[in-house]
Structure 1
Amino acid sequence: MTQYPLTMYGIRELKPGPRWRAFFDATWPAYRRWYLSEGRAARPGLRTAGAALAHHMPELLPTWGQLSEQTGHDLDAAALLTHWNLPTFLPAGCSQVVTPDPKPSLLRNYDYAPALFEGVSISTDYLQPVIGTSDCLWGLLDGMNGSGLVVSLTFGGERTVGEGFGIPLVVRYLLETCQRVDEAVSALRRLPISMSYNLTMLDAEGAVGTAHVGPGRTVEFSEQPCATNHRWRTPLDPAHAARFRSVQRLDHLDDLLDHRASADDIALSMLQKPLYSREFSQSFGTLFTADYRPAEQSVTYHWPELSWTRTFDSPDATVDVVLADA
């Protein structure tokens, strides 16, 4: 049995400051190697990357400027922080579902390589209160804002790569600028996105749905309350779907919803097969289950042996977890 120790850091820093700077200092060497892995010529210049952010997500410019200042105005770091034309992300698993409770919640499993996970849950107030799981320094894998909008991402099943933004910053942008699902979908329709993803969403008015996005693709939206790693019901890449049991996982989520399983029951199911995976050495292990409850303004991270709850106002804290492949 191989063990994978994991420390999750809970950070509350309303504006970019010393906590984010310490996080950047700890992770930048690895991010720089990844960002320049294909050579600097393969990445956009700072002027091009900044212009893309200014054109498509102008609301984020002040925060981007503050973050860039925290890096000591490192040109490569500032370009990476725009998330414009990043290197290709590793496609993997993930499952997500909105529960049918009177007070709906959104639950998701994040299945990925342990070594590539930041392990940070961060609460900020850049444009509005946002709490979520960090990726790529200020993007989000999933999150919730003070208006009650929740957004979570999964790989969408197509391996085409095009010009556009990395999806973590897109999730951040939706949570910073939108209050409802329909507003988020409208924003997605004008944003170029570099890879294929499913974004499952829930808002305070009870609207639920999933958007399927990708490079050069018109955004598709359905009221489907769950998603794994293929487009709707029929995989466009059957081999990838079979490898990661995408259809099997989606069918299981459908079955839970058909039986009106509660949020607590679904949370337990997320920690069991076929939704939970221990293939950590294959970059397909479940690193956490996130359980977003807008009515309680909380997110609880679940693992087989423990749970950890964060709110917008939770102070800095850490939790240590040991994952195992058997």
Structure 2
Amino acid sequence: MKKIYSDILQFRGSHYDFGIKQGEELKDSLTIKNRRKQWKTRKARFIIDEKSVKEALAPYAPAMWDELVGLRDALEWPMDEVLKEFGGYRLEYVRSGCSIFTSNDYMIRNYDYHPRTYEGRFMIYQPTDGGYAVIGPSQRITGRMDGMNEKGLIMGYNFMHRKKPGDGFICNMIGRIILERCATVKEAVSMLKEIPHRHSFSYTVLDKNEETFVVEATPRGVEAYQSNVCTNHFDVLKHENRHHLDDSYKRMNAINAQKGNVSNGYEAFRMMNDMDKGVFSSDYRNWSGTIHTSGYFSKERKVWFALGGDREPVVFDFAKWLAGEKIYTKRIMGEVDTDLPFAHMD
């Protein structure tokens, strides 16, 4: 077993100042050193220019550009390097797993991916220049892989495939935009139908009105429907599915077989996080091992978070933080059954 951690980072202020703060913390970090090593072994297949990214962000999240500028100024990088690492537009994304289960007022989510991509950053940010406060783990620094905002909107995404990419945003930037700009499921679905998608993902969204929708999104089309279970295959856009889906159906069947016995959020968390329930995965070498299990409770505005399996969650009271209380815990600790290196640790 490998001991791992996520740092808890909290900030209130403008997007530019948030970018500066993150850049200062990242400047000499292993995360940045490892990401730059990765670019030495693979080349971008396209050019990302400032004008196209700024214009793409403008209709959806113009303040995100200020955060990118803050990162540039703190890191002292050329803007094209910042956009390649953190811009969230026209970038590539490798395959991953992930499973989601929701009830009327909570979402439990397993994030399954390769350790070398994991940044170990649990973010709590309240912007003062527009947009909602958001709590959740980061991906590619500026993006969010799952999370909840101050209005109680919850979001998590699941990978489908990378076939026929389009000119658009990648999943984690879309997740960040949804959480910062949308207050309800209705607004999130509308945003997902409008925003350009780089790859094919399902986005599960839930709000305090007890509505859960799964939105199947590709560069070629978007479909939304009500459901409380999602893994890594499309149920509506079936023609878009990959050929090898056995593991995705296995995890979905495990959730469907057990959900009738789930009567509260803790039992749902155990169904997803316990290593003997058939949903948690230890397949880290194939990009689909469960790194964290997160639980978001819309009405209470509380968040549960655990690294690795068979863990009790760390509980965050987001409502109290929004009221001005500081969270004094600095790190979330956990263990995973792998010897693979993590981006922020090794």
Secondary structure, counterpart of 1:110 in structure 2: strand
Q: Aligned runs of 1:135-150 on 2, under 5 Å?
A: 135-150=139-154
CA distance in 2, matches of 1:267, 1:291: 7
Q: 2:90 aligns with which of 67, 70, 85?
A: 85
Secondary structure, counterpart of 1:285 in structure 2: strand
Secondary structure, counterpart of 2:328 in structure 1: coil
CA distance in 2, matches of 1:270, 1:137: 26
CA contact (8 A) 2:60 2:177 kept: no
How many residue pairs align between the two structures? 317
CA contact (8 A) 2:111 2:290 kept: yes
| TM-score where L is the length of structure 1 | 0.88
1:249 Cα deviation after fit: 1.3
Q: Aligned runs of 1:81-230 on 2, under 5 Å?
A: 81-86=86-91, 88-100=92-104, 104-126=105-127, 127-157=131-161, 159-215=163-219, 217-230=220-233
CA distance in 2, matches of 1:185, 1:53: 18
CA distance in 1, matches of 2:263, 2:81: 44
Aligned match of 2:11 = 13
Aligned match of 2:250 = 248
The alignment status of 1:283 with 2:306, answered yes or no, reads: no
Secondary structure, counterpart of 1:169 in structure 2: helix
Aligned match of 1:264 = 266
Secondary structure, counterpart of 2:100 in structure 1: strand
For the aligned residues, what is the CA RMSD? 2.4
Secondary structure, counterpart of 2:101 in structure 1: strand
State the percentage of identical aligned residues.
22
CA distance in 1, matches of 2:83, 2:28: 16
1:259 Cα deviation after fit: 4.4
The alignment status of 1:308 with 2:314, answered yes or no, reads: yes
Give the unaligned 5+ runs of structure 2: 322-326, 340-346
CA distance in 2, matches of 1:320, 1:201: 27
1:301 Cα deviation after fit: 1.2
Classify 1:53/1:316 alpha carbon distance in 2 versus 1 (closer, same or farther; 3 Å): farther
Secondary structure, counterpart of 1:182 in structure 2: helix
Secondary structure, counterpart of 2:221 in structure 1: coil
| Runs of 4+ displaced beyond 6 Å | none
CA contact (8 A) 2:48 2:80 kept: no
CA distance in 2, matches of 1:161, 1:96: 24
CA contact (8 A) 2:61 2:181 kept: no
Q: Deviations over 1:240-292 (max 9, x none)?
A: 312xx101211222333444542211111112332011112222211011011
CA distance in 1, matches of 2:28, 2:57: 23
CA distance in 1, matches of 2:205, 2:155: 5
| TM-score where L is the length of structure 2 | 0.83
CA contact (8 A) 2:201 2:216 kept: yes
CA distance in 2, matches of 1:241, 1:24: 40
Q: 1:321 aligns with which of 334, 337, 340?
A: 334
Give the unaligned 5+ runs of structure 1: none
Classify 1:246/1:41 alpha carbon distance in 2 versus 1 (closer, same or farther; 3 Å): closer
Q: In structure 2, give the amino acid aligned to 1:265.
A: E
Q: In structure 2, give the amino acid aligned to 1:297.
A: R
Q: In structure 2, give the amino acid aligned to 1:46.
A: E
